[in-house]
Amino acid sequence: MFCVIEVSELTKRYGPKTAVDELSFTVRPGRVTGFLGPNGAGKTTTLRILLGLVRPTAGTATVLGRPFRDRPRGLRDVGALLDAGDVHGGRTARGHLRFLARGNGLPRGRVEEVLDEVGLTDAAGRRIAGYSLRMRQRLGIAAALLGDPPVLVFDEPLNGLDPEGVWWVRGLFRRLADEGRTVFVSSHLMSEMENTADDLVVIGRGALVAAEPLAAFAARAAAPVVTVRTPEPEALGALLTAEGASVERGGTTGPEQEANELSVAGLSVTELSVSGLSEARIAEVALRHGLLILQLTPRTPSLEAAFRELTADHVEHRTTPLAPPPAADSHHPGGPA
């Protein structure tokens, strides 16, 4: 299978801090791939390495088979939005895009096309300093589209967009992917990717957590769990496990806490969390063995909850303020390593 972006054993250390940790994944064309991870997971660092702005400590990151630094075609090969705030505020949007077009040997007419595409034509003569974050995001997307590139990389492009803007960006990504381009989009929110991405690359603390189609991630990580309340947890639990389910035992309530007929019978009730079997199958197993079930409640965790759970061990707890990044090998845009 041809993969446009290939990251292999990539590591980036800043002093004692490992920002990216032996990370390997691939990104395919014709798909929108979400690059997900909690804040500080290493997404921006990975994207900056991919775009040749930061040098890795070890490993490789290639675009179309070569490191980005070795690509002379610039914006014609890869369009990127890294930081929407990283533009000269004194320029107009049109001036900024013309400057980029000139530097990349692109025709001037292309500037008007992308301004129109992102809906900035009317505001194109205004200084960028007066732009809202939303307008800057659109301008950043226009710059990424300028060279009509086959590969597009966006760092948190939905940040600061209103619902209409999010809807528009989603449509744009879909169209770009449908045209056969590679669209790689980072976010720290699964809710943003849920209706946007075809594939997911999930990282935590710089390391890979999952790389698979969104549908596979949903089926695996957000599989339905059935809560079963029963006075016969051992027997039922063993039977369900034998049927292939995975069973977790929850709390038990005694007869005095059960405000129903069971309190009369003097039974304690235990809650089991069962995954891997439907409620109908669970009920059928219980019936077949004459076991009493009091309640069967299916629940499907949200994808956001599944993502948070998966990356919970990988969340960086910033209890002390971060030291400003060193000037060399800057984390901030505009300072290639």
Ligand X SMILES: Nc1ncnc2c1ncn2[C@@H]1O[C@H](COP(=O)(O)OP(=O)(O)OP(=O)(O)O)[C@@H](O)[C@H]1O
Minimum distance from residue 36 beta carbon to ligand X (Å):
9
Torsion of CA 201, 204, 210, 216, to 10 degrees: -80
Main-chain phi, psi angles of 203, to 5 degrees: -125, 155
| Strands, sheet with 246-253, edge to edge from the N-terminal-most edge strand | 246-253, 269-275, 225-230, 295-299
> How many Å apart are CA 188 and CA 155, to the nearest integer?
10
Minimum distance from residue 248 beta carbon to ligand X (Å):
31
Q: Given candidates 33, 44, 92, 270, which one binds ligand X under the rule CB under 6 A? A: 44
216 to 275, contacts with ligand X by CB under 6 A?
A: none
* Partners of residue 212 on adjacent β-strands: 200
Options 81-89, 177-185, 237-245, 325-333: segment touching ligand X (CB under 6 A): 325-333
Minimum distance from residue 330 beta carbon to ligand X (Å):
6
Nearer to ligand X, 41 or 158 (CB): 41
Residue 295 region by backbone torsions, left for phi larger than 0, else alpha for psi between -120 and 50, else beta? beta
Nearer to ligand X, 301 or 335 (CB): 335
Q: Given candidates 5, 23, 41, 87, which one binds ligand X under the rule CB under 6 A? A: 41
Cα-based distances in Å from 113 to 175, 236, 304? 16, 65, 36
Minimum distance from residue 197 beta carbon to ligand X (Å):
16
> How many Å apart are CA 283 and CA 289, to the nearest integer?
10
- What is the separation of C-alpha 323 from the centre of its chain, rounded to a whole number of angstroms? 26
- Decide: is 89 part of the binding site for ligand X (CB under 6 A): no
Minimum distance from residue 19 beta carbon to ligand X (Å):
3
Which amino acid belongs to residue 154?
F
Contact at 8 Å (CB) between 275 and 170? Answer: no
Structure tokens at 179: 């045209």
* Partners of residue 202 on adjacent β-strands: 36, 210
Minimum distance from residue 44 beta carbon to ligand X (Å):
3
181 to 220, contacts with ligand X by CB under 6 A?
A: 188
Q: Given candidates 10, 21, 45, 214, which one binds ligand X under the rule CB under 6 A? A: 45
129 to 188, contacts with ligand X by CB under 6 A?
A: 188
Q: Given candidates 2, 16, 39, 259, which one binds ligand X under the rule CB under 6 A? A: 39
> How many Å apart are CA 92 and CA 316, to the nearest integer?
38
Nearer to ligand X, 17 or 102 (CB): 17
Q: Given candidates 30, 253, 331, 335, which one binds ligand X under the rule CB under 6 A? A: 331
Q: Give the number of residues in contact with ligand X, rule: CB under 6 A.
A: 17
* Number of neighbouring beta carbons within 10 Å of residue 69: 11
8 to 37, contacts with ligand X by CB under 6 A?
A: 14, 17, 19, 37
294 to 323, contacts with ligand X by CB under 6 A?
A: 316, 322
Q: Given candidates 31, 43, 136, 229, which one binds ligand X under the rule CB under 6 A? A: 43
- Decide: is 69 part of the binding site for ligand X (CB under 6 A): no
Torsion of CA 94, 97, 102, 108, to 10 degrees: -60
Q: What is the number of alpha carbons within 13 Å of residue 251 lying toward its C-beta? A: 3
- Decide: is 42 part of the binding site for ligand X (CB under 6 A): yes
Nearer to ligand X, 24 or 104 (CB): 24
Q: Given candidates 23, 31, 34, 40, which one binds ligand X under the rule CB under 6 A? A: 40
Which amino acid belongs to residue 285?
V
> How many Å apart are CA 284 and CA 110, to the nearest integer?
65
Q: Which positions lie near ligand X, rule CB under 6 A?
A: 14, 17, 19, 37, 39-45, 188, 316, 322, 325-326, 331
